[in-house]
Amino acid sequence: MFKCHVCGSEEGEPKTVTQMFILEERPLMIEEVPASVCSRCGEAVFDISTVEKIRKMVHGDAKPAKTVMTDVFAYSDSTA
């Protein structure tokens, strides 16, 4: 059963999302990941099996569909 790990809501909708994962300090964007999206706070919650599959894709022979350059900002470094 769905339970949001951020706000504790038990209502989620099945959706596919684009999500950034950090695996072994390597940032990866995965598109069209099946997730349950919390109807209260919008947090995407993934099944263990989904995360496991991504891990296998990354460590296996799967080639990225595309490569994008991404700027990463640290919120805590902001002086604004």
Q: Which residue in the set 6, 20, 51, 62 belongs to the binding site for Zn ion (CB under 5 A)?
A: 6
Residues 27 and 72: beta-carbon distance below 8 Å: yes
Beta strands in the chain (DSSP E): 12-23, 26-38, 44-45
Binding characters for Zn ion, 7-46, by CB under 5 A (x = yes): x-x----------------------------x-xx-x---
- Give whichever of 11 and 31 is closer to Zn ion, judged by the CB atom: 11
Gap between the Cα atoms of 52 and 15, Å rounded? 18
Pick the closer one to Zn ion by CB: 51 or 62. 51
